[in-house]
Amino acid sequence: MDDITTSGNTAPVTRTRRTGLVFGGTVLILIAGGITMQVWRAQSSQAAEQKGLPPVASATAETFKTAFARVNGDSITYETLAQECIERHGKEVLENMVNRLIIQQECARRGLTVSEAEVDQEIVEISKKFGLALDQWYKMLQAERNLTPAQYRRDVIWPMLALKKLAGKDVEITREMIELAYEDNYGPRVKARMIVLDNIRRATEIWEKAKKSPDDFESLARDYSMEPNSRALGGVIPPIRKNSGAHENLRKAAFTMKEPGELSGVLQVGPSQYAILKFEGLTEPVDHNIADVEAQLHADLTEREVQRMVGETFEKLQQQARVDNFLTGESRGRVEAASGLDAESEDAPATR
């Protein structure tokens, strides 16, 4: 774990963490909105003209009769295979397609396009960041992420560029942001153990046990914590940064504690998620002149802010969209205009 999996962002400082941003930053933003790397078919005529999106062949009547396999003369047809796939993965794949279509429709509505040349340029720039030739970059994608070049262009790069254009904002990096990032990357961090619980009653019970016997904190983490990675390590978590990475309540509590063995109170770190920290000390700060690393910090912050804007833009598009999912029987978003109601202002609760 590079950082605690709670709210907030960190500026990457190594090649490994930069790789995480390419595969984890942009992609995770999309996954958070339900967009994973699945093959999809363009539905909007204008958005379908995006040259960065290779078309997927449509199924014809003859396709449904095609045998994908024969077993002792008995055929497994396209239709049979498709039905099996829908039963196993249909809900996830359909949700992904819905979310992609939301992006396409908004691009079409605003008259925005992402050209093949823009996709090419973005991929070249990313490969250069890692010092890899384009063919080596594609080979790494195939080997480590099982992504073909076409899938990478269509399912990662195009949505990212489209959402950047839809965000329509220039990133502004202030001096204060640079200084906070410097403190995060090179200043002291808090070493701690953590127990995560899913309700306040249980969290209070475990806190009382830890308070009575702080030396038992490790075993309490192994027995009760809901966070699997730190639980397996007796509650050990990556050192907590002062300004980003962890939930604000964790950061404030961590940098308030002074003595090794000191416990925090019960901290709410998410919906139905509560944490208890045990302070174990501080890491040594790294001696760097801020002027020597300012350019790198600026680049990292810019990348982080772009990700934030892209995520906010997609979340807003989801909230504005009306989606009726007939496979799951669920609906969400705006009510269609009827009886003089304004479809833009009416929200419909999700139904099942």
User: What is the pLDDT at residue 146?
Assistant: 86
Q: Are residues 150 and 259 in the same domain?
A: no
CATH of the domain at 44: 1.10.4030
Contacts of 60 by beta carbon, 8 Å cutoff, 6+ apart:
none
Domain span at 233: 188-282
Q: Are residues 170 and 76 in the same domain?
A: yes
Q: Are residues 51 and 179 in the same domain?
A: yes
The pair of three-digit structure tokens given for residue 213, joined into one six-digit string: 């016997």
User: What is the pLDDT at residue 52?
Assistant: 45
Q: Are residues 206 and 233 in the same domain?
A: yes
Q: Are residues 155 and 53 in the same domain?
A: yes
Q: Are residues 24 and 92 in the same domain?
A: yes
Provide mean pLDDT across the span 120-132: 93
Q: Are residues 35 and 10 in the same domain?
A: yes
Does the structure show a pLDDT above 80 at 37?
no
Q: Are residues 259 and 333 in the same domain?
A: no
Q: Are residues 165 and 17 in the same domain?
A: yes
Number of domains in the chain: 3
Across the chain, mean pLDDT equals 80
User: What is the pLDDT at residue 58?
Assistant: 54
Q: Are residues 144 and 273 in the same domain?
A: no
Contact 333, 327 (CB under 8 A): no
Q: Are residues 167 and 272 in the same domain?
A: no
User: What is the pLDDT at residue 20?
Assistant: 43
**pLDDT digits 0-9 by tens, 296-348:** 999 889 888 988 899 999 999 999 999 999 988 899 887 654 433 344 434 44
Q: Are residues 244 and 118 in the same domain?
A: no
Provide mean pLDDT across the span 18-32: 41
Overall pTM > 0.95: no
Provide mean pLDDT across the span 267-288: 93
